[in-house]
Structure 1
Amino acid sequence: MSDTNAIGLHEASASQLADKLNALLANYQVFYMNVRGYHWNVKGREFFELHAKFEELYTDLLTKIDEVAERILTLGHQPIHAYSDYVATASIPEEKNVHDGTTCVRGVLTGYQTLIELQREILSLASDADDEGTAAQVGDYIREQEKTVWMLGAYLG
């Protein structure tokens, strides 16, 4: 009997990666809803600029949510899919009733920093497991999001 899954990864490693990816999925889901809320509720002088930017960001986050869930399935595991599980699992807190543009941008910046930290953990685990698929996926996310963090920091001054 083999201890590898359908894509040739050791099942113990795949299980550990799936658990971390489920934590990432939960954080993406909560972060997505936060950014969606910023988009809907931002007020002030930067409304038009931030409203459009938040839409761009949440659209990208939604794509990544699907990709992370599908990677968990590819590893032979089930993605969590109840919002109560997302809230219980995520380290990114739900944001409610945020209207100020600067506060919204700080929330986006903090969310991306949290995602990058978790994705670096996953990158290390994936590398140790010889899981090129997961490593490439989160590596691409990190590269994109590091630039976004730099730009958000520049925006905030």
Structure 2
Amino acid sequence: MKQYINLNGDHSKTIEKLNELLSTYQVYYQNIRGFHWNIKGQNFFELHVKFEEYYTTAAANIDEVAERILTVGGVPLHSFSDYINTSSIEPIKDLNDGQKMMEIVWNMHNELLGLMRSTVEVADEQDDEGTQDLLAPMISDLEKTNWMVGAWLKK
């Protein structure tokens, strides 16, 4: 495992968690793209734009996670089959109802948040401050986003 920073010890657990996060984020991204493309109904204009915002943010975060995996000496997963097999989010298809989509978004965000937090815990155990620092603002941003989704859903 070649790393490009001066980390001591084995960081395979962090790499494994980051790859799980990467895979889950990739399935989330594709689900949100599908929602963006297929939304119908009264909330079309509002949600079409919102879903684009979500997948744009996800794309940037996906790139950061993949680059972190490389930085700590791992290889980011990069096939759809790896993503499906590793993701804790299931692919969604044939959906066009905005209310149902937003319920799924809320659940996917909660799944991503849990995975980010558990990745931070593993990084902490391995003295990997860089991974912790990478994920902390992602967590804060997603918490705020999901608070807003919850407000939209009247939760």
Smaller-chain TM-score bracket: over 0.9
Which residues in structure 2 correspond to 1:30-41 (within 5 Å)?
A: 30-41=27-38
Distance 1:6 1:43 in 2: 47
Query: Alpha-carbon deviations, 1:81-131, whole Å to 9, x = none?
Result: 000110011010000011000111111111110010011111111122221
Which residues in structure 2 correspond to 1:6-155 (within 5 Å)?
A: 6-12=4-10, 14-155=11-152
Distance 2:147 2:70 in 1: 32
Query: Alpha-carbon deviations, 1:10-43, whole Å to 9, x = none?
Result: 342x111001000000000000000000000010
Provide TM-score, normalisation by structure 2. 0.95
Where do 5+ consecutive residues of structure 2 fail to align? none
User: How far off is 1:6 after superposition?
Assistant: 4.0
Provide TM-score, normalisation by structure 1. 0.94
Distance 1:119 1:109 in 2: 15
Distance 1:67 1:42 in 2: 28
Bigger relative contact order, structure 1 or 2 (CA pairs below 8 A, ≥6 apart): 2
Where do 5+ consecutive residues of structure 1 fail to align? none
Residue identity over aligned pairs, in percent, reads 47
Q: How many residues align?
A: 154
Give the root-mean-square deviation of aligned CA atoms: 1.4
Aligned AA for 2:103?
Answer: R
* SS of equivalent residue, structure 2 residue 105: helix
Aligned AA for 1:82?
Answer: S
